[in-house]
Structures are given as C-alpha cells and as structure tokens.
Structure 1
Amino acid sequence: MALKNLMVVVDTSKPAAARIDAAAMLAARHDAHLTGLFVSAPPALPSYVAGELGDSVIALQQRMAQEIADEAAGLFRQRVELAGIGSRAEWRALRGDPTEVAGIVGRYADLVILGQIDPDRNRDVPPVHPEDVLFDCGRPVLMVPYAGRFPTIGEQVLVGWNASREAARAVNDALPFLETAKKVSVLAVNPKTGINGLGDEPGADISLHLARHGVPVTADHVNARGMDPGDMILNYATDVSADLLVMGAYGRSRLRELVLGGVTRHIMQHMTIPVLFSH
C-alpha cells in the first residue's frame, strides 16, 4: 500500500509544530496529500448554566474558539508551505469531541498522525487520546513524541515482533516505510516457542518475509531478565539509532493493560521516537 493520503491532528500546543513538520516531511517523501484536522470541543456546560450565561457570554466563547482555530490553521499553513507541499495540503476545522472526530475522519486516510499526550498540557483543552483513535479509525497511527524534533522518520526502523495478529498487521501497514528504509531491525523480547511462538530462530520468519519485499533486515531476540519489556525495546531502539518504531498495539484488552500494565501503554507513555501502532 502506498501512502498517498495522510492526516495530522493539529492543535495550538507547543509540540504541534514538530508534529506538523513530521507529517509534512512524510507527505513530501511519499508524494502524498496531507490533511490538517483541528477539532474544537464545545464548552462542557449544563444547559441550565449555558442559559444563565446569556448570549453575550456565549458569543465571547465562540469568538475565543474561533481565534484558537485560526491560530492552528495559521500554524499548519505556515509549516506545509515551508515543507513545499502547500498545493497538496488541506485544512479541516470541525466541532465535536476531538478524539471521536479524529477517529471518524481518520478512516479516510492511509495514516493518522497524532501527538503523544503531554503531561504538562493545558488541562482545560481536551486531548486527543491516541489509543481510542487507534481502535476507532481502523488505520495505522503514527504517534509523535511531545518532546524533540524528528528530521528523519523511517531511515532506521525497529520492528517490535511477537508473532501476534497485531504485530503482523503493523508490519504490513509499515511496508511503505520498511521498503524505503536504509536498515530495519526486528526485535523479539522474551520470545515464546511452540506452534504459537516464534520458532527455533525468533524473528527469522518475519525477516524472510520482509527480505522478499527487498527490505534490508536483520533479526535479534533478547530476554528482559526482570527489565520492563517496553524499556528493553526503547533501549534497543537507542542502540540501533532507530528513528521509527513499528509495533502492534493492545494484544490484550485495554482494561487488562490498565490494571496489569503492558508494553503498548508503556511505550505510549515513555516513547522517545515516533511509533507506528496498528491494532
């Protein structure tokens, strides 16, 4: 699948510029169309409170919301022009629940680009929750960290592999990146054996599949030995100078991950490079 239609969620937070730059860079590389999506959440006020505020207060709220939308639009247009893709960029400003709207609009894109949730964000502005968009849109999600700049994405790729359905989906969704990468590393952490495991040589089968696509791939496996598997993946990504991590998301229920912890949740919270998630 070629990447020809990308969507990036835009806001007015500090990390937004780096996120737009990453999306614009990918659009330029893949000769793709880029849609910038801004979602304005309506004030969360009970009807009886809104009625008591009066028309002037409601009009003021609407003007403030429009100013924020205009600021986001200006930022998007500035960054796509700098990237040289202004003619292939489109702006959409909608109202509603930001996460829900992003999940719906994202169904019409090849790749949805979101930001990692910043713990120091403005708490008055509802964030877009990447995990909910991932479940709702049916598309791969590229999550960009809230800190840092990312001049390259996909030159040195690390694939987190556990032979699950989600991991297989992620590898397939990431083929446009993998086929053009300079180097791809496949990593299995605490690999299982047996019919549902990774075989005698963990990572060999998926590496052979990728090699048949012309991907320059190597495979490795490690045992965490008490270390969190998510930390092991992130440390390995640093060791191989990866600028993109590819992995399946939520191989077990989100509720179970919330209670027991899990690799997906850990990576989403502690990622240091862009991550392509698929479910």
Structure 2
Amino acid sequence: MSFKDVLVCVEDLPSDEATLEVAVGLARSFGAHLVGLHVRLLAELPPFIMAEYGGQITLMQDRLALEASDRAKARFEAALAAGGITGEWRDVAGNPLREVPLHARHADLTVIAQRNPEEWSEDGLVDQLLLDAGRPVLVVPYVGRYPAVGRRALVAWNAGREAARAVADALPLLRRAERTLVVALNPRAVTGSHGDVPGADIAAHLARHGVSAQAESLQAEDVALGDMLLSRAADEDADLLVMGAYGHSRMRELVLGGVTRHVLDHMTLPVLLSH
C-alpha cells in the first residue's frame, strides 16, 4: 500500500506555503501524482441586492476570484518547481464544502491547512472534508514549517473504529517512520476494548506491517486529553499525529468540546485524521 494520488488544497492564503511544502514532499517521496485544487467561491447575495447591482457585483466577483486563482496557481507551480516534480492543476467554481470532498474521494490523501481564525477561509471546510470525503486528511498547522512529515509519529489509539481507520490509512507513512509511539487513550473507560495491555494489540498489528511501535497510555477528560496528546507529541519531537476524527458526533464536540475539536484548534504538528 502506498500513496499514488495526493490532493492539496490551495486557498490563496499565507498558509499555502507550508501546506504545499508538505504535499510536494510527500508526492516526491512516494512518487505520487500531485493535484492542486483551488475552488473559486461564488458568494450568494440577497435577491434585492442582485436585482439592483447584480451585473456589477458578478463582474467584480469574477475578477477577484480569477485573480485569486491566478495567485494560487502561481504558488502551486512554484512549489512544484522547487520540489523538482510535476503535477496537475484544477480550478473549479462552486462551494468548497461540496467541491473539496468530491475531489478528495479520488485521491489517496488530501493535504489542507488548519483554519486560521485571523484569515478568511471557508468555515467548517476541514470538518466537512473529514466527514464527507471517506479518505484520510492531513491537516497542516497554519503556523510553522514542516519539511519532513512522518519521521517520528505518534498514534492516538482509543480502540474505536475511527482510530482503526486512521491507523490503516497512515500505514504508508508509519512504515517509513524512524519511531512510532502508540498512545492508548483512556483505556479504563471502556472495559475490554484495549485488551489486557493497552496499546499492545495495535502495536503487534503494526509490527506485522513492518512498523516498530512502542505503546503507553494516557487517562484524562476529553479536552485535557487533547492537551496531553499535543504535549506528548512535543515531548517526543513528533512530526506527525495520527488519530481518528469525531468518534462522538461533530455537534456534540462543537457544543461540549472533544479531542478532535481541541486538536484541530490547537495543533502544533501535522495531523492525519480519518473518520
């Protein structure tokens, strides 16, 4: 198993630089076909505004969208040239919440930037991508640079189906890792799910796939668990966190908080998530 198609979202934002660096590095490392995707958002305005100013507004929207698309394409092509690889550019018009998951379904991995609350970007895009694409998503923090991803990996393991899916999706990266640490989350919360030794069974499974992994456990409340995971990743000097996404419903996590939501908001390293 390997990555043969990698999709990267290019949003005409400062965070594109780090996201493209990660995507180009992965495509080069795996010999994968890299697709750059930019979605030109067509804003929907109230009918009374369109009735009076529709033509002018449409022309202005088209002009600004095309300028953003040109900048995004230039950034993508510069990243390809710097990485010494070739790729495919896709520019589509529509709603990113629909278009990005649609294109992601035809790729082994999608790379996208963490949402920066101080910049405009489509709210909820990462969440929608996780829930709708059916493919793993690698989210890159909007702060920092990450020239190598997957050298030292930390796997968040709660023995749930989302975590199992994430581990399977991350195998191409985990096989290449110099060190993999499996952290069993709240193993006492669900009796029997983790086995006699928390993390041992999934570590043994990884070993059969050529991944040398160590296991340990963490016990905490959901939000505190997110902090502890990120802190443990920093202690390990990890450059990749692998975890399942939204084991609880997304609405429950938005209202009450949860590990997925906390990590998406506060990540300090690239995170591969699967739902």
TM-score, scaled to structure 2 = 0.95
State which of 198, 201, 216 in structure 1 corresponds to 2:194. Answer: 198
Question: Are the counterparts in 2 of residues 193 and 200 from structure 1 also a CA contact under 8 Å?
Answer: no
Question: Are the counterparts in 2 of residues 193 and 199 from structure 1 also a CA contact under 8 Å?
Answer: no
Question: Are the counterparts in 2 of residues 247 and 277 from structure 1 also a CA contact under 8 Å?
Answer: yes
Question: Are the counterparts in 1 of residues 218 and 225 from structure 2 also a CA contact under 8 Å?
Answer: no
| Alignment match, 1:133 | 129
Q: Unaligned 5+ residue runs, structure 1?
A: none
Q: How does 1:185-224 map to 2 (within 5 A)?
A: 185-192=181-188, 196-224=192-220
Residue 107 of structure 2 aligns with an amino acid whose one-letter code is: A
Q: How does 1:1-279 map to 2 (within 5 A)?
A: 1-53=1-53, 55-86=55-86, 89-122=87-120, 125-127=121-123, 129-192=125-188, 196-224=192-220, 228-279=224-275
Residue 103 of structure 1 aligns with an amino acid whose one-letter code is: P
Shift of 1:35: 0.4
Task: Flag the 1:193–1:33 CA change in 2: closer, same or farther, 3 A.
Answer: same
Aligned residues: 275
- Secondary structure (helix, strand or coil) at the match of 1:24 reads helix
Provide the C-alpha distance between the structure 2 equivalents of 1:176 and 1:226, rounded to a whole number of angstroms. 29
Task: Flag the 1:63–1:214 CA change in 2: closer, same or farther, 3 A.
Answer: same
Provide the C-alpha distance between the structure 1 equivalents of 2:27 and 2:222, rounded to a whole number of angstroms. 40
> Percentage identity across aligned positions?
46
Provide the C-alpha distance between the structure 2 equivalents of 1:222 and 1:12, rounded to a whole number of angstroms. 39
Question: Are the counterparts in 2 of residues 98 and 128 from structure 1 also a CA contact under 8 Å?
Answer: no
Provide the C-alpha distance between the structure 2 equivalents of 1:227 and 1:194, rounded to a whole number of angstroms. 18
Task: Flag the 1:35–1:226 CA change in 2: closer, same or farther, 3 A.
Answer: closer
TM-score, scaled to structure 1 = 0.94
Q: Deviations over 1:210-261 (max 9, x none)?
A: 1111112111113338970001100100111100000011111111112221
- Secondary structure (helix, strand or coil) at the match of 2:20 reads helix
